[in-house]
């Protein structure tokens, strides 16, 4: 990245929004918000706030650019032809599941675009217009009920943990000799990288790609929950199952470490993968691999992998230190080598396809050092962690606690391991997420970080709040943190009248954007016709956390609506650990 591009990226990341005056016959106040800029690509979201009239039959969105955008892609819409054939105008319409908008609601449309030189200029003509004749009908989906709901006093956390682990079982790739999920079979037995066996691991989301970065994050955070909230797993009878599930991913991450200074960060080509809808066992497309090397560094990914293997070593040792003794040694050996790789050859990772590209790596380096200290008790790693904390200025609040943002996790762990001053930094993060902070809230109480899978962010923040609550010296603050975390986890589990965890509670989603679970058992066909079928998925993807509702608590249970209905390994990670943390709170023990 050139110095000019770097300055441009920093400027755009600090930009909140480019406001549109909404010329024409618009029915909402629309703006274009830039999210992330890297190399010659940027992403963002078009937001139309406070729709002024009911749109019962759908809507159209018109955007006028200062110059024609390059490879513009909008999600959740259907592009339509501009009647005037103006190259500076792009027109779109609803994509059935989001056709109905009511007065006062908001519309969020994520986008991605390439650019050469300067970014395309938006001249203020973003117009939302309602259709006045019936079009595509609203899908057979359910919405959280309005009005006051009777909130359950408790949930069966044991069952949630059990189902969440089972979700990871359903995501397994490779040879499945002990498979107890009838709609899954062995798959991708030819995954290799330069002659190295790359079978195994977890499919990332509803697709069949394997991304080491979010997979490693999931392992780290799941291990954290097992280690520090072990009682919850024992009570659920799931401790052994939990680490057995982890081993499917850690074995794969070890395989990805194909040389001392080489690590596989991706298997599968998104272009080929996303053109296919069917069973993983039937996929015949190309499965290339992509690596990080000393000359092509990626400290975020390699650092996260080091953290994952170190944290997992703690989890295996916790469950059975005798049985897993040799495996723990293997995990720590690879974690140390990966940490050396990440720190010795520092550089930002840029995915070949733009998926899961992060922007900084200081938090991952400190994160890995902390987990290595916890796994080895070697002071040098804690010294590294505090030095990296200072070097990369890891103070202050973070956007989230998720696959790309570990700063808050670093602060929370240093608060436990070093001193309380680090908890003061975590407090800023939690304050931003709690009511009165920088986030908006849905009418029913969800902290709404992003229109794309907001539940993962709420769950991540809830986990951090639970963890540092136990470190607080002020009992009132601790109680407030616990109560807020409980409100977010219980929102997910069903306090609004619907559960967002498949197979658990009431009114849970039945049409997740997940290929394998949508497919009927062979020999019935599974294809894009299955994708478009309005009926429920043929199989229940137990334990999977879906992306979540929109800003007004509306959730469309439609597999085409991947913005809300897709699932992913990283979605469940902090959620599962937060549920374990909820159980671990003293006041909940009497529930079981």
557 part of the active site = yes
What do you get for the CA distance between the two ends of the chain, in Å? 55
Sheet containing strand 59-65, edge to edge, reads 77-80, 89-94, 59-65, 122-130
Helices (H) and strands (E) in the chain, counts: 18, 16
What DSSP element (H or E) covers 364?
A: helix 362-376
User: Other CB atoms closer than 10 Å to residue 341's CB: what's the count?
Assistant: 26
* 136 and 96 Cβ atoms separated by less than 8 Å: yes
Omega before residue 555 within 30° of 0, cis: no
CA distance linking residue 113 with residue 120, whole number of Å: 9
Question: DSSP states of 190-254 as a string?
Answer: T-EETTEE---SB--SSS--EEHHHHHHHHHHHHHHHHHTHHHHHHHT-HHHHHHHHHHHHHHHH
334 part of the active site = no
Looking from the CA of 381 toward its CB, the CA atoms found within 13 Å total 23
Q: What is the phi/psi pair of residue 518, to 5°?
A: -80, -20
Pick the closest to residue 368 from 410, 416, 333 (CA basis). Answer: 410
* 186 and 160 Cβ atoms separated by less than 8 Å: no
DSSP 303: H
Q: How far is CA 28 from the centre of its chain?
A: 29
CA distance linking residue 42 with residue 234, whole number of Å: 45
CA distance linking residue 414 with residue 386, whole number of Å: 8
Question: DSSP states of 322-357 as a string?
Answer: TTTHHHHHHHHHHHHHHHHHHHHS------TTSTT-
Token duo for residue 32: 């274009």
Pick the closest to residue 29 from 39, 18, 20 (CA basis). Answer: 20
419 part of the active site = no
Contacts of 147 (CB under 8 A, 6+ apart): none
CA distance linking residue 459 with residue 277, whole number of Å: 29
DSSP 545: B
Looking from the CA of 529 toward its CB, the CA atoms found within 13 Å total 4
Helix 362-376 crosses helix 212-228 at what angle (to 10 degrees)?
Answer: 40
CA distance linking residue 66 with residue 56, whole number of Å: 32
Q: Which of 337, 557, 558, 582 is catalytic?
A: 557
Catalytic residue numbers, as ranges: 513, 557, 566
């Amino acid at each position: 990245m050139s110095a000019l591009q770097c300055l441009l990226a920093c400027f755009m990341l600090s930009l909140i929004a480019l406001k549109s005056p909404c010329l024409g016959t618009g029915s909402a106040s629309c703006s274009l918000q830039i999210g992330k800029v890297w190399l010659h690509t940027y992403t963002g979201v078009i937001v139309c706030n406070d729709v002024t009239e009911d749109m019962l039959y759908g809507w159209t969105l018109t955007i006028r650019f200062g110059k024609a955008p390059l490879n513009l892609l909008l999600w959740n819409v259907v592009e339509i032809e501009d009647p005037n054939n103006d190259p500076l105008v792009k027109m779109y319409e609803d994509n059935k599941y989001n056709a109905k908008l009511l007065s006062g609601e908001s519309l969020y449309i994520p986008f991605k675009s390439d650019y050469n030189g300067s970014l395309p200029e938006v001249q203020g003509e973003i117009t939302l217009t309602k259709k006045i004749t019936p079009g595509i009908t609203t899908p057979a989906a359910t919405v959280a009920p309005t009005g006051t709901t009777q909130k359950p006093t408790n949930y069966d956390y044991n069952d949630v943990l059990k189902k969440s682990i089972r979700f990871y079982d359903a995501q397994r790739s490779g040879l499945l000799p002990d498979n107890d999920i009838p709609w899954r079979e062995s798959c991708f037995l030819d995954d290799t990288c330069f002659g190295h066996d790359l079978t195994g691991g977890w499919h990332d989301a509803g697709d069949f790609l394997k991304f080491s970065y979010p997979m490693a994050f999931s392992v780290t955070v799941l291990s954290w929950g097992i280690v520090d909230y072990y009682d919850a797993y024992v009570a659920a009878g799931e401790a052994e199952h939990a680490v057995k599930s982890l081993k499917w991913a850690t074995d794969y991450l070890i395989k990805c470490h194909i040389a001392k200074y080489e690590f596989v960060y991706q298997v599968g080509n998104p272009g080929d993968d996303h053109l296919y809808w069917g069973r993983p066992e039937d996929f015949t497309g190309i499965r290339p691999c992509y690596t990080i090397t000393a000359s092509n560094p990626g400290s975020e990914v390699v650092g996260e992998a080091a953290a994952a293997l170190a944290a997992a070593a703690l989890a295996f040792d916790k469950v059975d230190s005798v049985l897993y003794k040799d495996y723990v040694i293997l995990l720590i050996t690879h974690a140390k080598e990966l940490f050396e790789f990440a720190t010795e050859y520092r550089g930002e990772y840029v995915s070949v396809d733009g998926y899961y590209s992060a922007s900084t790596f200081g938090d991952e380096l400190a994160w890995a050092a902390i987990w290595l200290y916890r796994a080895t008790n070697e002071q040098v790693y804690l010294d590294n962690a505090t030095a990296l904390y200072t070097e990369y200025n890891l103070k202050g609040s973070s956007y989230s606690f998720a696959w790309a943002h570990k700063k808050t996790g670093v602060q929370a762990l240093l608060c436990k391991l070093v001193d309380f001053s680090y908890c003061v930094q975590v407090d800023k993060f939690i304050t931003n997420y709690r009511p009165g902070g920088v986030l908006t809230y849905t009418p029913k109480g969800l902290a709404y970080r992003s229109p794309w899978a907001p539940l993962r962010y709420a769950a991540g923040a809830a986990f951090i709040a639970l963890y540092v609550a136990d470190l607080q010296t002020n009992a009132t603050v601790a109680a407030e943190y616990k109560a807020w975390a409980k409100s977010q986890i219980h929102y997910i589990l069903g306090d609004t009248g619907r559960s967002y965890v498949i197979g658990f509670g009431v009114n849970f989603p039945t049409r997740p954007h997940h290929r394998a679970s949508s497919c009927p058992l062979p020999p019935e066909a599974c294809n894009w016709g299955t994708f478009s079928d309005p009926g429920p998925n043929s199989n229940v993807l137990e334990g999977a956390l879906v992306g979540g509702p929109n800003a007004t608590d509306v959730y469309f249970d439609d597999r085409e609506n991947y913005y809300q209905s897709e699932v992913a390994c990283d979605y469940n990670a902090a959620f599962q650990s937060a549920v374990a943390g909820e159980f671990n709170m003293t006041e909940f023990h009497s529930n079981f």
